[in-house]
Every structure is written in C-alpha cells, then in structure tokens.
Structure 1
Amino acid sequence: MHAGRFTQGSTMRHVLVMSLTSAVGLIAIFFVDFLSLMYVAWLGSTEKTAAINFASIVLFFLISTNIAMMIAISALTSRALGAGHRGEARRLAGSGVALGTALGLLLAALAFPFLGAILSGLGAQGETATIARRYLEIVLPTNPLLAAGMAYSAVLRAAGDARRAMWVTLSGGIATAILDPVLIFGLRLDVTGAAISVLLSRLIFVAVGYRGAVAKHDLVGRPSLAALAGDCKPLARIALPAVLTNLATPAANAVLARVMANYGVAAVAASGVIDRVVPLAFGGVFALSGAIGPVLGQNWGARLFPRMHRVLDDALICTLVYVTA
C-alpha cells in the first residue's frame, strides 16, 4: 500500500470512505451495547439493568483514555507515513501499542481494588452494587485487550486501510451480538454471561486488529526501551489533551447517575437506556470527528497544507448534511 494514499486523489472521497467505514463500526458497537442492555432487561430485574449502567459508567472512564491513546497513535503514525518515513511510522506504532496497552493495564489495576468505593460514589447500593461489582471484576481486567485492539485499529486507519479497521470494530460487535443471548439465556448465566461475552469479544477484537496491523501491513515494530522513552513524550503531548476532552462525557454521566440514584434503581436503569439510544443517532458525527485524523496526518507529514484545509471543509460539509438530513 502506498505510504501516503491520502496525499493524492479526492479529499472528499477520503473523508467519506474513512467516515462511513468508521460509522459502520461505531454504530454496530452502539447497537450491540443497546442489545446487551436489552437482554439484561429481559431478565426482569431492574436492579440488574441499573447495575449494568453503573458498570458501564466506570468502564467509560477507561475507554476514554484508550481513545485518547488511539488518537495519538493515529496522528503520529499517519504523519510519518505521509512524510514517507515508514520506519519511523513502525517505531511510533509499536511504541503506541505497547504504551497504550500498558496504560490500559495500569488503570485497570488501579481501579480494581476500589470498585466498591467507586460504585458507592456513583450511588449504587445493595444488590445493584453487588451485581455491578461482579460484572466489573470480569470485564475490567480485559481493558488492556481493548486498549491494544483500539491501538491496532488506529494503525490501520493511519495507513488508510479503512476496510480492515472497520472489521476490527465489527468483529467485536458481531461476537457480542452472538454470544450475549447464548450466554445470558442459553447457559442461564445472567449478568455474568454478559460479562463473559465482553471478555470473549475483546479477545476477538484484538486478534483481528493484530492480524491487520501486524500480519498484513507489518506496521507495528517491536519497541525498544530507548524507543519507548523517546516516543512517550510526543504521544503524551497529543493524548493528554485528548484525555481531558474525552473525560468530560463520562464525568457528566457519573454526576447524572449519582443524581438519578436518589430516585431509585428504576431511574438509573431508564437513564442507561437513554444513554444507549442517543449515540445511535449521532454515530455518524462521532465517526467523522475521528476518521479525518489520519487524512489530516498524512497531508501534514507531506506538508500539503492546502489539502488539509480542503479536508476540514469537506468534513464540515459532511457534518452539515448529516445533522440536517
């Protein structure tokens, strides 16, 4: 594949292809997340439905950090590819995957001992808190897998392989859609089944990402300690502001959950349903905001600044069409 495929051809086409493939994956995830909550709701327990919502809020904080690392990896790797520096791109991708996975592991390890206190702070009590904690005890340790899979997806997008990046996301969603009813109802594992489904889907997620980024494109180098130390600063320079931005949503959700908890578990459960319906409507906008990063990055690396302006203009046009349709 040409190192700088986004540096030539129609900028609108690049924006549309990257956005549409990203939207397919994102909307699939949002829809499957909605289905998972619906399956749990079919168990007939408001406490279980509310517990999943509380657990999701905790996980959202970690996912926001993973997304920030994904943005940093995509930006730096695409810029290096745009400049024609494949070796540098492999080094940055390798460092990004390693550091992102390590950070995902660290955050999960730090949060694990305090799950009870965290859930209590959100307003979870009694059986609801117990169910949420049991769910998190299975899902939280898989955060490094999610971080690695997201990093591999970022590398694929940086290379312009929108189709494989889409399948990384879709694979996890499809796996969850199949496993959830089997484990929750077929094997009668209830909420534990939903948690095991997440674990297995994340294994598939990271495996598909590895196959595309490493086995197919060979774009993830084996990082040395010197490379990790040197690449940590540029990655952090992009990831830290992104983290602060991304944490706004889970922080707001946490405050809302705490307020809703005062009105009982039914209110928390209902809030969880709403939180899963809204992203389905705005999945295209969410996808667009992240999809243009690699397009901008490659053109930045190639010093094609007029094309960067066109990319932003095209993205704005797409956004206006989407929200007014």
Structure 2
Amino acid sequence: MENVLFEKTPVPKAYMKLALPVVFSMMVSLIYNMVDTYFIALTGVQELVAGVSLVVPVFTLMIAFGDIFGLGGSSLISRLFGEKRLEEAKRVSAFCIWGAIGFGIFVSIVLMVFKTPILHILGTDDGTFQYASDYYTWIAIGATSIIFGLVPSNILRTEGLATQAMIGSMVGSVANIILDPIFIFGLKQGAAGAAIATVLGNLIADIYYLYVMIKKTNRLSVSIGDAKISTSMIRNVLIIGILASITNIMQSFMVMTTNHYLLPYGNDKIAAMGIALKVNMITALILVGFAFGGQPLIGYNYGSKNNKRLKEILKFAYLFEMGLGLVFTIIMSVFAPLIISVFMKQSDIVSNGATMLRFQQLGMTFMAVTLVSTCVCQSVGSALGAFILSISRQGVVYVLALVVMSNVVGYNGILVSQACSDVITAVIAISIIFKIINKK
C-alpha cells in the first residue's frame, strides 16, 4: 500500500495524504502555543511574560536537537525505502531512537550545569530573571522527552503512518492544554507550571509514539539491538540532521538577537514581540507542515530515480505553498490587532504587537519558497544546499538585515528585518534548487 501511495497515486492526492496529518498536528501545536501564551499572559505580570519569552529559544533549541535524529533519519530512511534497502532502513530508525534518548540526557545535564550564565546570555535582568529561571529549570529537566518526540513523529511518516504521527502530536498538545491551567493557577506554579505542563505533555506523546512504533510498524524498529549502523550511515543522518536542525537553532538565535535589539526600548516591547512571534507561528507552522509533509514523497522518488514524478511533486509543492503564504499574509495583517488583543488587553502591547505581527507576515510568500527548497535539499541529501539555507533566513542574512535596517530606520528597522531576510533568502533558495535540478 505504501508503494502505491509513493509511486502511483496522483501527486496532489499523495502529497496531501502525507502532508495534511502533519499540518493538522501543527495546528494542534498552534492551539497549544496560543493557549499556553494565553494562560501565561493571563497572569497579568509583564515581567513573567517577558521572562518566559526570553527562554523560548532554549525550547526551540531542543526541537532543533530532535530534528537531528528525526529529520536526518527520515531523510535517509525515505531514500533507503526507495532503493528497497529495507533492513538498513530498519537499523537507521533504531539508531535515531536511541541516539535521541542519549543526547537528550546529555542536554539536560549541560543546561542545568550552566543555568545561570545561559540565562544571562538570553537577556534576563533583575525583573525577569526569577520567572525565566523557573521556566528554564523544568524545560531543562524534561529535555529528553522533548527531543525524543521529534524522532518517531518524523520517521513514522516514511512508512506512510502520517496519521499516527499526527495523533501523537495531538495527544501531547491536548494534555498540555489541560495541564496548563492546573499547574499555572491551580497549583500556583506560575512560569514553572507552564514548563511542567509542557514536559508532561511531551512525555505522554512519547509513550504513545513508542506504542505505535512497537505495535503498528513493519519496517521500523525501537530495539537497541538494531541500533548498530555503519559509520557512513551515521554520518549521513548527522550531516542532514544537523543541517536541518540549524534552521531551528537559527530561530532561537533570531529571537535572542531580536530581544537584545529591543531591550533598550523596554520590557513591554519584548513581551509584545513574544506574543507576536507566537501568533506568527500560525502561518509559519502551517507552511512548514505542508512543505515538510511531502518530504517522504520527495525522498522516496529521488531514491527510486523517478525523475518525472519528482518534478511534478516539486511544481505542486512550490505553487501551493506560495499561494498559501500570500493568503495568510493578507488575513493575519488585516486582523492583527484583534488577534494580539486576545492574549493581552493592554493598549501598548496590542499596538506594538499588531505592528510587529504585520512586519513578520510581509515575507511569508518568500518564506514558503525557502521552506520547500530546504525540504528538497534535505530529501535528496544535498548537504551544502541545506546548510546555506539553514544559516541564512534567520541567521546570517537576518543579522545583516537587522544591523543595516536598525541603523538606517531605527526601531521600525528591527521589525522589518525578517521580511527583508525572507526575500533575499528566497532568491538564494531558487538558485540552489536550479543547480540541484540541472545536476541531478
């Protein structure tokens, strides 16, 4: 059945069958993020909101670490399935599972040992340090549960089990939503309560994923005995995985850098940006879901050398993503004040947050181009292309745009920097994809 889906089913239908469950799970994650932000903002403590916003890059960093084994593994497994090397694909899946667990434990230890200096690097001050510390501590303790979940949620889709991957994400997010008010208000844990709810939600999802991996899969494994793979395969997983994770690392870097530039303008600006970026995830994560939902389809057909079908997939992906990005830009920009006001009613937060959200949305159509291009690079194993795109949009190109625009325009220059970076990175992405197509 999986071969029919990957080889014969019409491209739009096959793409959507794989991508829609990813998007639905992203939407549930979005709801969780919105609810999480809502409950945190409901405390009415501006310093608490700012403190949690300052630690968000740490959480994003853990997602990036999970992507090393999740996206790196799924990229290789998809190609191995296309080449009919099933036993090797099975071993790669087990390696990724146990690699993520071991690395998660290591991350927890490092984060706790260097807690205070990391919090200072993130930009905390006397008003936000304690709130940031409370949130940081529990996120650090639960690092393994967060990092591990990214592996099965990605590699299950290589066997066509996109629905099961979606259910796992939904289970964790719903649990998180239920636990948020209990820990934040019921048990009066504040910022720590939000982090505890997040960790427990991820843990519940992890248990479900393990059940599916053991009971429902035919070509994947969680056995530690299957985790031994060749050095070349480890290198393949890590190279593509690390390059994929750089995207999320750069997102953490972008948030941290933006917060530092906004710091002279006051904690209210940081709080507003924290809310605006969470709301911006509505567009961003849905676009990510549709872009990377088709990754197994791209990787499989690349591995099987079905070039005609591969071109059809790419054409559909680019046109659909760009159109969707444009629609979201219009909708989010029109309703920006109303959306921001859902989270905090303070007039200055609403005004600043709406402006920030509109600036963030300006580059969504161009971001769509970069997302699909990044997915293509990861799927076909183009390490150089994936690396360039990973460090560009929210990394090197963003910093250059931020430095230039903030000096030229000031405060508004900080806000428009992401849109400028989106346009430039999209141009770079298209040039990379043309080179890959001509070469392959």
TM bucket (normalised to shorter chain) is over 0.9
| Number of the residue aligned with 1:231 | 233
Corresponding letter in the other structure for 1:321: G
Unaligned runs of at least 5 residues, structure 2: 328-440
- In 2, the alpha carbon distance for the partners of 1:55 and 1:223 equals 34
Task: Select between 47-56 and 215-224 the one with higher mean Cα deviation.
Answer: 215-224
The question of 1:295 aligning with 2:297 is answered: yes
| Number of the residue aligned with 1:153 | 153
| Number of the residue aligned with 2:376 | none
The question of 1:250 aligning with 2:261 is answered: no
- In 2, the alpha carbon distance for the partners of 1:115 and 1:178 equals 28
Query: How far off its partner does 1:253 sit?
Result: 0.8
Corresponding letter in the other structure for 2:221: V
| Number of the residue aligned with 2:15 | 15
In the TM superposition, 1:124-163 aligns within 5 A as 124-163=124-163
RMSD across aligned C-alpha pairs, in angstroms?
2.0
- The aligned length equals 325
Corresponding letter in the other structure for 1:163: T
- In 2, the alpha carbon distance for the partners of 1:4 and 1:124 equals 53
| Number of the residue aligned with 2:38 | 38
Query: How far off its partner does 1:180 sit?
Result: 0.7
1:33 is paired with a residue whose SS is helix
In the TM superposition, 1:100-249 aligns within 5 A as 100-218=100-218, 219-224=220-225, 226-227=228-229, 229=231, 231-249=233-251
Cα gap change, 1:126 to 1:154, in 2 (>3 Å): same
Task: Select between 63-72 and 39-48 the one with higher mean Cα deviation.
Answer: 63-72
Which digits, 9 at most, give the CA deviation of each residue in 1:23-54, with x for residues without a partner? 11112212211211221111121111111111
Corresponding letter in the other structure for 1:255: T
| Number of the residue aligned with 1:270 | 272
Which digits, 9 at most, give the CA deviation of each residue in 1:99-148, with x for residues without a partner? 22322332332222222112212221124112211211111121211222
1:125 is paired with a residue whose SS is coil
In the TM superposition, 1:77-88 aligns within 5 A as 77-88=77-88
2:145 is paired with a residue whose SS is helix
1:212 is paired with a residue whose SS is helix
Query: How far off its partner does 1:316 sit?
Result: 1.2
Contact persistence 1:156–1:162 (CA under 8 A): yes
Give the fraction of aligned pairs with identical amino acids, expressed as a percent.
Answer: 22
Query: How far off its partner does 1:85 sit?
Result: 2.8
Unaligned runs of at least 5 residues, structure 1: none
Which digits, 9 at most, give the CA deviation of each residue in 1:218-244, with x for residues without a partner? 411424474275532111121132233
| Number of the residue aligned with 1:282 | 284
- In 2, the alpha carbon distance for the partners of 1:244 and 1:182 equals 34
Query: 4+ residue runs of structure 1 moved beyond 6 angstroms?
Result: none
Contact persistence 1:99–1:228 (CA under 8 A): no
